[in-house]
Amino acid sequence: MKTWKLSELDSLFAAIAAAQKLYIPADAAGQPAFTLWTPGLSMTKALNTGRSAKDLFFPQVENLVNFKVSGRRIQVEPGREEVEDFVIFGVRACDCRSFDILDSVFLSDPVDTFYADRRSHATVMTLACSEPEETCFCTSLGIDPQAPAGDVSCWAMEDTLYLEANTEKGQALLSSLPQLGQGEKPQTDASVFHRLPLKDLDFSVFGEKPLMDWFNSPVWDSLSQSCLGCGSCTFVCPTCQCYDVEDFDGGATIRRFRCWDSCMYSDFTMMAHGTNRPTQKERFRQRFMHKLVYHPNNHAGQIGCVGCGRCLQKCPISMNIVKVAKALKEGKA
């Protein structure tokens, strides 16, 4: 187990950033976000960022290809930006688990090479939680917030940062920091997590009934009535992966890019004949059926949620996956 003084955290960041880009959770533009570290930038005191570390692997907007037009001639140019090695520090256990869910989608055949390129260049340094929010429920999904995964696991306790390599990438990173000290693995206190209001959530029931039983549940009508279709829940969710591909005509150059989309939007997957889900109820049902039923059915029972609690905090009408799951289980909204 390696150690570093928390009072000298800037020195650790500087040592990492000397070799590759480093991103840390910092207060920026009104809310915590993973931000490129520069001297003087400090970590946020918030438990989690407004949007997750997913942004660094699956950006909100990403250029795919460029078309240069000259008369009747069209020249196709790759739009991919070269990805350099980088480190993400301070990823919580919930967000780290979200990478597994994204990997199951983007790294399955056919592999999304844009996503795979970023994943291969990244070293993830997680940070254990000790003071969770009341909206946290990661433990209900089998995630241990005090034993985060990643390439390097970190614990901040008293005046010391403890670091443990879990992968070859992690070992290579720690080996490049000869100033690290040695110490014993810290003892953690899990009692606070046993007192969280959402600690007893049980999602296992969604694998016990036929898919169509959930799909045809009468609670969707009442649950969806208050939904505004704003998409806030999808944009802060670390596991949502829907996107649209669009073209921007700049005259001589046409840029084809992809950008995040939301199944909660009325024009989602809009085609010439319209959309397959014309009502808010159908769009609302799609989002939560995907998280609770479709994804686990296709990925060995893995729920498409990591319990980060962002949707509980951000939804303007307080509708979230916890309320939906409870209503479905009870058969009433």
Whether residues 37 and 119 share a domain: the answer is yes
Whether residues 29 and 105 share a domain: the answer is yes
Question: Measured between alpha carbons, how far is 134 from 240 in angstroms, rounded to an integer?
Answer: 22
User: If we measure between CA atoms, which residue out of 65, 175, 71, 167 comes closest to residue 124?
Assistant: 167
Residues 259-297: pLDDT tens digits? Answer: 999 999 988 888 777 778 889 999 999 999 999 999 999
User: If we measure between CA atoms, which residue out of 318, 324, 280 comes closest to residue 304?
Assistant: 324
Whether residue 65 lies inside any domain: the answer is no
Whether residues 125 and 236 share a domain: the answer is no
Whether residue 69 lies inside any domain: the answer is no
Whether residues 165 and 131 share a domain: the answer is yes
Residues 129-176: pLDDT tens digits? Answer: 999 999 999 999 999 999 999 999 999 998 999 999 999 999 999 999
Whether residues 16 and 49 share a domain: the answer is yes
Token pair in block for residue 4: 């570093």
Confidence band for 72, pLDDT divided at 50, 70 and 90: confident
Whether residues 150 and 294 share a domain: the answer is no
For residue 70, the model assigns a pLDDT of: 86
For residue 333, the model assigns a pLDDT of: 57
Residue 223 has, within 13 A of its CA and on its CB side, a CA count of 27
Whether residues 137 and 274 share a domain: the answer is no
Question: Measured between alpha carbons, how far is 69 from 221 in angstroms, rounded to an integer?
Answer: 49
Per DSSP, which regions of 6-104 are E strands? 21-28, 31-36, 61-70, 73-78, 86-91
Whether residue 111 lies inside any domain: the answer is yes
Whether residue 71 lies inside any domain: the answer is no
The amino acid present at 167, given as its one-letter code, is: T
Confidence band for 331, pLDDT divided at 50, 70 and 90: confident
Q: Mean per-residue pLDDT for 202-209? A: 89
Whether residues 107 and 237 share a domain: the answer is no
Q: Mean per-residue pLDDT for 239-266? A: 93
What pTM does this model have?
Answer: 0.93
Whether residue 113 lies inside any domain: the answer is yes
Whether residues 37 and 178 share a domain: the answer is yes
Last residue of a domain, one of 178, 195, 212: 195
Whether residues 117 and 135 share a domain: the answer is yes
Question: 36: which residues sit within 8 A by CB, 6+ positions away?
Answer: 21, 22, 23
For residue 28, the model assigns a pLDDT of: 80
Question: 140: which residues sit within 8 A by CB, 6+ positions away?
Answer: 198, 199, 200, 201, 202, 203, 307
Last residue of a domain, one of 155, 176, 195: 195
Last residue of a domain, one of 175, 195, 215: 195
Q: Which position has the token pair 């940062």?
A: 161
Residues 103-122: pLDDT tens digits? Answer: 999 999 999 999 999 999 99
Is residue 20 predicted with pLDDT exceeding 90? yes
Whether residues 25 and 173 share a domain: the answer is yes
Whether residue 30 lies inside any domain: the answer is yes
Q: Mean per-residue pLDDT for 204-221? A: 92
Whether residues 176 and 209 share a domain: the answer is no
Q: Mean per-residue pLDDT for 185-209? A: 90
Residues 183-192: pLDDT tens digits? Answer: 888 888 899 9
Provide the phi-psi class of 150: left if phi over 0, else alpha when psi is between -120 and 50, else beta: left
Number of independent structural domains in the chain: 2
Whether residue 251 lies inside any domain: the answer is no
Whether residue 28 lies inside any domain: the answer is yes
Q: Which position has the token pair 């007893």?
A: 200
Please give the residue range of the domain that contains residue 163.
Answer: 2-58+81-195
